[in-house]
A and B are shown apart, each in its own frame.
Chain A
Amino acid sequence: MDTAVAGHVFDLQRFCTNDGPGVRTTFFLKGCPLRCAWCSNPESQIFRPQLMFHEQLCKGCGRCAAVCPSGAVRSDGPQLFFQREQCANCGACVAACAYDARVLAGRELTVDEGVQFARQDWHYYMHSNGGITCSGGEALAQPEFLRALFARMHDELGYHTCLDTTAHASWETLESALSVTDLILLDIKHMDSDRHKSMTGVGNTLILENAKALGKLHFPVLIRVPLIPRFNDTPDNVRQLGEFLEDCRFCDVELMPYHMFGSSKYTALGRHYANIQGKPDVHGTVAALKKFGLHVTVHGTS
Chain B
Amino acid sequence: MLFDPVTQEACAESNRLDPKIQRARCVEAVARAKDSLLNSPQKVDTERLRCLLDVYREYDYEPVIVLRARVLERYINNRTLYIDDNPVVGTVTGSAAGVNVFPEWDSEWILKEMRQAMMSHLGKVNISEEERKLMVEAAKYFKNRSATAKARAYSKQLRGYDPAPAIQAGMFQDGTQFTVGAGNVDYETFVRRGLRSIIEETEARLHALDISAENTHKIDFYRAALISMNAVVKFANRYAELAERMAATEEDAVRKQELLDIAEVCRRVPEYPPRTFRESVQSWWFLHLGIQMEQAGCGSSPGRLGQYLDPYFQKDKAENGITCEDGIAWLKCLFVKILEFGYYQGLAYARLVSGHTGHTINIGGLKSDGTDATCELDYLLLDAQIDLRNIQPTLTLLYHDGLAEDFLFKAVELDRTGLGQPQWMNANIIIQRLLTRHSQVGITLEDARNCINMSCVGTGVAGKTCFIREIATFNLAKMVELVMTGGYDANTNTLVGADTGNPEQFASFEEFFGAFVEQTAHLFQTARFYGSCSNKALGDTVPSPFRSSMYDGCLQSGKHECEGGAKYYLYYSISTAGVDAANSLAAVKELVYGTGKVGMARLKAALAADFEGYEDVLELCLDAPKHGNGDPEMDSLVRRVYDCVMDKYHEVDTNFYGKHIANIEAYSLSIHNYFGMLTGALPCGRKKGKPLTDASVSAMPGTDKNGPLALVSSAARALDTVRYGSNHFNMKFHPSAVAGAAGARKLISLVKTYMDMGGSHIQFNIVSSETLSKAKATPEDYRALTVRVAGFSAYFTRLHGGVQDEIIARTELGL
Binding site for B on A (CB under 8 A): 13-15, 17, 21-23, 59, 61, 63, 98-100, 120-121, 123-124, 127-128, 130, 300-301
| Most chain B CB within a 10 A radius of its CB, from A23, A59, A100, A120 | A23
Q: Which of B604-626 contact A (CB under 8 A)?
A: 615-616, 619-620, 622-623
Cβ of B168 < 8 Å from any Cβ of A? Answer: no
Q: How far is the CA of A130 from the CA of B745 in the complex (A)?
A: 11
| CB-based nearest A residue for B620 | A98
- Checking A63, A120, A300 against B736 with a beta-carbon cut-off of 8 angstroms, the contacting residue is A300
Binding site for A on B (CB under 8 A): 615-616, 619-620, 622-623, 630, 705-710, 713, 736-737, 739, 742-743, 745-746, 748-750, 752-753, 756-757, 814-815
| CB-based nearest A residue for B738 | A17
Q: How many A-B residue pairs have CB under 8 A?
A: 63
| CB-based nearest B residue for A299 | B736
**Contacting pair A13 B619 (CB below 8 A):** no
**Contacting pair B752 A17 (CB below 8 A):** no
Report if A17-B709 is in contact (Cβ < 8 Å); known contacts: A22-B746, A61-B615, A98-B623.
no
**Contacting pair B615 A23 (CB below 8 A):** no
- Checking A63, A100, A121, A127 against B709 with a beta-carbon cut-off of 8 angstroms, the contacting residue is A121
**Contacting pair B753 A123 (CB below 8 A):** yes
A238 CB, min distance to chain B CBs, angstroms: 24
Report if A23-B756 is in contact (Cβ < 8 Å); known contacts: A13-B814, A14-B708, A121-B709.
no
Report if A14-B742 is in contact (Cβ < 8 Å); known contacts: A98-B619, A124-B750.
no
Q: How far is the CA of A127 from the CA of B753 in the complex (A)?
A: 8
The residues of A that contact B707 with a CB separation of less than 8 Å are 13-15
Q: How far is the CA of A120 from the CA of B705 in the complex (A)?
A: 17
The residues of B that contact A14 with a CB separation of less than 8 Å are 706-710
**Contacting pair A128 B745 (CB below 8 A):** yes
A61 CB, min distance to chain B CBs, angstroms: 6
A210 CB, min distance to chain B CBs, angstroms: 27
Q: How far is the CA of A128 from the CA of B756 in the complex (A)?
A: 14
A193 CB, min distance to chain B CBs, angstroms: 34
B684 CB, min distance to chain A CBs, angstroms: 13
A40 CB, min distance to chain B CBs, angstroms: 14
Q: How far is the CA of A23 from the CA of B745 in the complex (A)?
A: 9
The residues of A that contact B616 with a CB separation of less than 8 Å are 61, 63
B8 CB, min distance to chain A CBs, angstroms: 54
B377 CB, min distance to chain A CBs, angstroms: 28
| Most chain B CB within a 10 A radius of its CB, from A17, A100, A123 | A17
| Most chain A CB within a 10 A radius of its CB, from B622, B739, B753, B814 | B753
Q: 8 closest Cβ contacts across the A-B interface?
A: A98-B619, A128-B749, A127-B749, A123-B753, A98-B623, A14-B709, A15-B709, A15-B708
Report if A22-B709 is in contact (Cβ < 8 Å); known contacts: A17-B737, A17-B815, A99-B619.
no
**Contacting pair A17 B713 (CB below 8 A):** no
B735 CB, min distance to chain A CBs, angstroms: 11
The residues of B that contact A17 with a CB separation of less than 8 Å are 737, 742-743, 746, 815
B23 CB, min distance to chain A CBs, angstroms: 36
**Contacting pair A124 B713 (CB below 8 A):** no
A53 CB, min distance to chain B CBs, angstroms: 17
Q: How far is the CA of A98 from the CA of B623 in the complex (A)?
A: 6
Report if A23-B619 is in contact (Cβ < 8 Å); known contacts: A17-B815, A123-B756.
no
| CB-based nearest B residue for A128 | B749
Q: How far is the CA of A120 from the CA of B746 in the complex (A)?
A: 17
In the complex, given contacts A14-B706, A15-B709, what are 7 additional A-B residue pairs having Cβ atoms less than 8 angstroms apart?
Answer: A15-B814, A59-B619, A61-B619, A63-B619, A120-B630, A127-B748, A127-B753
The residues of B that contact A59 with a CB separation of less than 8 Å are 615, 619
> What are 21 inter-chain pairs, A to B, with CB distance below 8 A?
A13-B707, A14-B706, A15-B708, A15-B750, A15-B815, A17-B737, A17-B815, A21-B742, A22-B742, A22-B749, A59-B619, A98-B620, A98-B622, A98-B623, A100-B705, A123-B753, A123-B757, A124-B749, A130-B746, A130-B749, A301-B739
| CB-based nearest A residue for B757 | A123
Q: How far is the CA of A163 from the CA of B14 in the complex (A)?
A: 71
**Contacting pair B750 A23 (CB below 8 A):** yes
| Most chain A CB within a 10 A radius of its CB, from B615, B623, B709 | B709
The residues of A that contact B736 with a CB separation of less than 8 Å are 300
The residues of B that contact A300 with a CB separation of less than 8 Å are 736
The residues of B that contact A100 with a CB separation of less than 8 Å are 705
Q: How far is the CA of A258 from the CA of B363 in the complex (A)?
A: 42
The residues of B that contact A13 with a CB separation of less than 8 Å are 707, 814
Q: How far is the CA of A21 from the CA of B572 in the complex (A)?
A: 44
**Contacting pair A124 B753 (CB below 8 A):** yes
Q: How far is the CA of A124 from the CA of B815 in the complex (A)?
A: 16
Q: How far is the CA of A124 from the CA of B753 in the complex (A)?
A: 6
**Contacting pair B620 A127 (CB below 8 A):** no
A28 CB, min distance to chain B CBs, angstroms: 13
